[in-house]
Amino acid sequence: MKKIYIVRHCEATGQPPESSLTQKGLEQSQELSHFFSNILVDRIISSPFLRAVQSIQPTLNHKQIQLELDHRLAERVLTSEVYPDWLRRLEETYSDLELKFKGGESSKEAIERVLSLVKEIINHESEHTIIVTHGNLMSLLLMHFDSEFGFEQWRMLSNPDVYELSIDTQHTEFKRIWNG
């Protein structure tokens, strides 16, 4: 059975790729390291966004694992436009996976992107992998495995958050394991 720990980054100063963690986010990254201290981990793959890398850095240091960066874990771009009703538009993308706004990525495209990485992880020799990503992409990945996971569940995600995805030849299941 493969275990993939899907981690949403800690509290950050903003949304751009170069946004760093807040002071609280840096403290949360230490909590995350403590959380993973007794969990077997063979591999850690992160979004290249600074807030994701900073979130997992203490865990990397503790586990002495080399970080792998993968653009497929970068946050989904909803649109290149500025919409005052962006939240409503985001919600629409959970019910219409093909919906795509100017300069953005549809939910279906984002799911396919992250699933390509998950398939590689499944075929890799490592048994226990952490992937560090962002809330929207995390929720879309979980929605792929359970159609009941959607917009409202995305809204309830915390920073950080951790879900354990268990995959074997017969079935796939996930559960929230973060209690911070």
Q: Is the pLDDT of residue 142 over 90?
A: yes
pLDDT value for 141: 97
Contact 5, 162 (CB under 8 A): yes
Its sign, for the CA torsion 157, 92, 47, 15, is negative
* Range of the structural domain that residue 117 is part of: 2-176
Structure tokens at 51: 């807030």
Cβ atoms 9, 132 nearer than 8 A: yes
When pLDDT is averaged across residues 147-151 and rounded to a whole number, the result is: 94
| 31 Cα distance to chain centroid | 17
- CATH code assigned at 125: 3.40.50.1240
Provide the mean pLDDT of the chain.
Answer: 96
Instruction: Output the CA torsion sign for 84, 149, 49, 22.
Output: positive
* pLDDT reported for residue 14: 92
Closest CA relative to residue 136, chosen from 79, 67, 56, 57: 79
pTM across the whole model: 0.95
Asked if residues 2 and 122 have their Cβ atoms less than 8 Å apart, the reply is: yes
Number of domains observed in the structure of the chain:
1
CB neighbour burial string for 105-142, b if at least 16 within 10 angstroms, e if fewer: bbbbebbebbeebbeebeeeeeebbbbbbbbbbbbbbb
From the list 151, 132, 141, 140, the residue with the least C-alpha distance to 55 is 132
In the predicted model, is pLDDT for residue 101 greater than 90? yes
Task: Give residue 131's pLDDT.
Answer: 98
Euclidean distance between CA atoms 180 and 17, whole angstroms: 25
For the residues 25-54, what does the mean pLDDT come to? 97
How are beta strands 161-167 and 172-176 bridged, if at all? antiparallel
